[in-house]
């Protein structure tokens, strides 16, 4: 597969379980090594760059399941990420401004947070690195609808500010309304790629489950 | 009053065990490595102090100063070149690696220094034998009080480092989830190297006081490892303050056992260790990774 993302673009990556979405995100972030191919960031080949060095280049991943440090407080979780941050506007105060629900929770251990609070902390933690590319893996998974709404309100503000986001989301409607571009993966391959408004929900669903292969629907593509 | 004296002596002895166990606890807490060479590293530290002492004829407390950076560097290199590679093969391989390292250190020490027993008690001067006489049956040994104070200071310092500093937070984060820490820009291998460097340096300090309080020979490391291991388990693996409490409980158990009959000294400590191990809690403090 080949995927290009332009600066300032918001891309929703959708696909059924096992399609390879998380693997793709983790490979971009450096947590997995690709068996073949290259990953290029800002014109440079970063395929062999260690995970921790990619953060200083500007790549940050919010992993599936949040993966907070449970015995660290919310503030400590943020500060760990901030220690190796690129220069930029994000610090603890800016994160609290973006996610006001974190303000009274800074001294609380991450293990004591609700799902929505944990997800806000996880996103804030990634933002603390001042990323140029933010990879979000299943941010709404397991959250109450109210928490998801709050989270996406904050995300929309980030996107409006020009953040570059690659978003993995199971909720098709939300993915298509949040992102300017939708990419669908099926069994490790790209089967649909184009502007979100150019597809109907049914077309994306068909690609999602591989139905387009049976009915002969072709894959659409637009340049990034 | 004899029993009170036994408890006081046990608390002092516990300070040495806590000092010995501190590095073991740190390495387990951060990397999940049980360093079977920890006792031998402590003994190696004592021998290095002896080497400095033989050349420059200074107090052991001065002689240990150049030894500490050497041991820190050795610890860092050990982690980066040996233990990191072992960790990639699972948790059992570092156990075997450190077991092998233990044998290597013992035999190198025997080759270089002969099997003779060595002590730093004499060169340390009057502090090795001085004590404060409280009553006719109760006295506080100066070296015991010094070791206990140092153990509290080192554990407190380590606690402060872990809880209040950026590198300490990184160490705790890496201990809890290495992969995620790397995704946030933390170089986990360097963090592990720093943890081992600290652990090895503290072990060298423990070796110094072990050789001042009693004596060392090339093969005395495994015995010290057992005491350190027991202190860590009694206190709760990965808990720093638990390590201090565990060391004191072990020390008091040994001195009370010795009060009953000198041959029960070590046995009493082992029995307390087994009782804690068999308890549902598994340690005085909750078992966790690098507690603060």
Q: Is the CB of residue A137 less than 8 Å from the CB of residue A122?
A: no
Q: What is the DSSP string of B77-109?
A: HHIIIIIHHHHTT-SHHHHHHHHHHHHHHHHHH
Kind plus residue range of the DSSP H or E element containing B140: strand B139-141
pLDDT digits (tens, 9 = 90+) for A82-91: 988 888 888 9
pTM, two decimals, is 0.87
Shortest alpha-carbon distance between residue A144 and chain B (Å): 25
Judged by average pLDDT, the poorest of A68-82, A180-194, B93-107 is A180-194
Please enumerate in sequence order all residues whose Cβ is within 8 A of that of B104, keeping only pairs 6 or more positions apart, or say none: none
**Closest by CA position to B147, among listed B218, B67, B60, B234:** B60
CB pairs under 8 A between A and B: 74
Is residue A44 included in any domain, yes or no? yes
Contact flag A56-B169 (C-beta cutoff 8 Å): no
Residue-level pLDDT at B231:
94
Tokens of A128: 């603390």
Reported confidence tier of residue B284, pLDDT bands at 50, 70, 90:
low
Whether residue A160 is contained in a domain is answered as: yes
Question: pLDDT value at position A222?
Answer: 34
In A, minimum Cα distance to B190 occurs at A52
What rounded mean pLDDT belongs to chain B?
Answer: 91
In CATH, what number is assigned to the domain containing residue A57?
3.40.50.300
Report the gap between the CA of A139 and the closest CA in chain B (Å): 16
- The percent of residues in chain A predicted with pLDDT above 90, rounded, is 52
Which residues make beta-bridge pairs with B139? B133
What is the rounded CA–CA span in Å between residue A77 and residue A110?
Answer: 8
Pick the residue from chain A with its C-alpha nearest to B162.
A72
Q: What is the structure's pLDDT at B1?
A: 67
pLDDT at A69: 95
Residue A67 lies in a domain: yes
* The pLDDT of residue A223 is above 70: no
A87–chain B nearest CA distance, Å: 14
pLDDT for the residue B156? 94
Q: Which of B170, B172, B188 sits opposite A83 (nearest CB)?
A: B170
Nearest to B169 among A31, A72, A85 (CB): A72
Using CA atoms, how far residue A164 sits from A9, A10, A170, B179, in Å, is 5, 6, 19, 23
Which residues make beta-bridge pairs with A41? A44
Placement of tokens 């046990």 in the chain:
B10
Residues in chain B within 8 Å Cβ distance of A67: 177, 179-180, 183
Average pLDDT score over chain A: 87
From chain B residues 140-179, the ones with a CB under 8 A of any chain A CB are: 166, 169-170, 172-173, 176-177, 179
Contacts of A129 in chain B (CB under 8 A): 184-185
Residue A69 with chain B: CB contacts under 8 Å: 172-173, 176-177, 180-181
The answer to whether residue A196 sits within a structural domain is yes
Does residue A224 belong to any structural domain of this protein?
no
pLDDT tens for each residue of A19-56: 899 999 999 999 999 989 999 999 999 999 999 999 99
Instruction: Determine the distance from the C-alpha atom of residue A39 to the mean position of all C-alpha atoms in its chain, rounded to a whole number.
Output: 17
Residue B237 has pLDDT above 80, yes or no: no
Could A56 and B187 be called an inter-chain contact, meaning their C-beta atoms sit closer than 8 Å?
A: no
> What is the per-residue pLDDT for B135?
83
pLDDT band (50, 70, 90) for residue A153: confident
Secondary structure of residue B122 in the 3-state scheme: helix
Query: HSE of A116 in the Cβ direction (CA atoms, 13 Å)?
Result: 16
Determine contact: B88 vs chain A, CB below 8 A.
no
Q: Which of residues 201-260 of B touch A (CB under 8 A)?
A: none
Whether residue A224 is predicted with pLDDT greater than 50 in this model: the reply is no
What is the number of helices (H) and of strands (E) in chain A?
9, 8
Domain region containing A122: 10-215
Q: Which residues of B touch A56 (CB under 8 A)?
A: 185
pLDDT digits (tens, 9 = 90+) for B4-23: 889 999 999 999 999 999 99
- 8-state DSSP, A199: S
Q: Give the single-character DSSP code of A73.
A: B
Counting the structural domains of chain A, the total is 1
Q: What is the mean pLDDT of residues A85-104?
A: 90
CA distance to partner chain A, nearest, from residue B284 (Å): 19
Select the residue of A31, A56, A67 nearest B185 (Cβ to Cβ). A56
Mean pLDDT of B255-279: 92
ipTM, 2 dp: 0.87
- Interface contact A52-B187, CB threshold 8 A: yes
For A11-70, the DSSP string reads EEEEE-TTSSHHHHHHHHHTSS--SSS--EETTEE-TTS-HHHHHHHTEEEE-TT----T
Chain B residue nearest residue A123, CA to CA: B184
Q: Does residue A3 sit within a domain?
A: no
Distances (CA, A) of B69 to A84, B76, B170: 27, 10, 22
Indicate whether A158 belongs to any domain: yes
Q: A205 lies in a domain?
A: yes
pLDDT of residue B245: 93
Tell me the pLDDT tens digit for each residue of B144-184.
999 999 999 999 999 999 999 999 999 999 999 999 999 99
What pLDDT shows up at residue B291? 47
- Locate B16 and state its tokens: 């040495």
Q: Which residues of A touch B (CB under 8 A)?
A: 29-31, 50-52, 55-56, 60-61, 63, 67, 69-72, 76-77, 79-81, 83-85, 125-126, 129
Run of H or E residues at A62: strand A59-62
């Amino acid at each position: 597969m080949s995927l290009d993302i332009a600066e300032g673009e918001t891309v929703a990556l959708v696909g059924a379980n096992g399609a390879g979405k998380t693997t793709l995100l983790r490979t971009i972030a450096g947590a997995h090594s690709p068996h073949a191919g290259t990953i290029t960031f800002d014109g440079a080949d970063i395929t062999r760059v260690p995970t921790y060095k990619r953060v200083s280049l500007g790549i940050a991943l919010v992993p599936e399941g949040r993966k907070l440090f449970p015995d660290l407080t919310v503030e400590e979780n943020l500060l760990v990420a901030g220690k190796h941050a690129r220069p930029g506007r994000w610090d603890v105060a800016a994160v609290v401004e973006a996610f006001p629900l974190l303000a009274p929770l800074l001294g609380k251990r991450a293990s004591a947070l609700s799902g929505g609070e944990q997800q806000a902390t996880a996103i804030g933690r990634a933002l603390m690195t001042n990323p140029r590319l933010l990879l979000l893996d299943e941010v709404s998974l397991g959250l109450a609808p109210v928490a998801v709404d709050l989270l996406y309100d904050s995300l929309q503000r980030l996107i409006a500010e020009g953040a570059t986001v690659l978003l993995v989301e199971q909720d098709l409607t939300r993915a298509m309304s949040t992102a300017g571009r939708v990419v669908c993966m099926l069994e490790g391959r790209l089967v649909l790629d184009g502007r979100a408004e150019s597809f109907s929900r049914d077309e994306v669903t068909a690609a999602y489950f591989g139905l387009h292969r049976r009915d002969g629907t072709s894959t659409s593509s637009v340049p990034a | 009053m004899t029993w009170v004296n036994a408890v006081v002596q046990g608390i002092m002895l516990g300070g040495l065990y806590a000092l010995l166990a501190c590095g073991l606890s740190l390495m387990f807490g951060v990397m999940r490595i049980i360093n079977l060479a920890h006792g031998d590293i402590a003994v190696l530290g004592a021998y290095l102090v002896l080497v400095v002492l033989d050349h420059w004829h200074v107090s052991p407390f001065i002689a240990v100063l150049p030894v500490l950076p050497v041991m820190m560097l050795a610890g860092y290199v050990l982690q980066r070149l040996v233990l990191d590679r072992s960790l990639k093969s699972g948790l059992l391989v570092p156990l075997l690696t450190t077991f092998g390292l233990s044998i290597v250190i013992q035999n190198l020490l025997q080759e270089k220094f002969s099997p003779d027993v060595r002590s730093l008690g004499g060169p340390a001067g009057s502090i090795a034998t001085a004590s404060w006489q409280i009553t006719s049956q109760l006295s506080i040994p100066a070296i015991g009080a010094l070791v206990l104070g140092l153990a509290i200071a080192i554990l407190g310092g380590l606690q402060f480092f872990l809880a209040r500093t950026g590198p300490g937070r990184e160490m705790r984060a890496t201990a809890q989830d290495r992969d995620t820490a790397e995704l946030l820009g933390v170089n986990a291998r360097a963090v592990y190297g720093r943890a081992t460097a600290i652990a090895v340096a503290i072990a060298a300090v423990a070796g110094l006081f072990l050789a001042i309080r009693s004596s060392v020979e090339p093969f005395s490391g495994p015995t010290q490892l057992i005491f350190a291991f027991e202190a860590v388990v009694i206190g709760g693996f990965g808990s720093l303050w638990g390590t201090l409490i565990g060391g004191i409980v072990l020390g008091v158990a040994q001195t009370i056992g010795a009060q009953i009959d000198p041959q029960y000294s070590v046995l009493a400590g082992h029995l307390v260790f087994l009782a804690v191990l068999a308890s549902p809690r598994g340690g005085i403090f909750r078992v966790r990774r690098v507690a603060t």
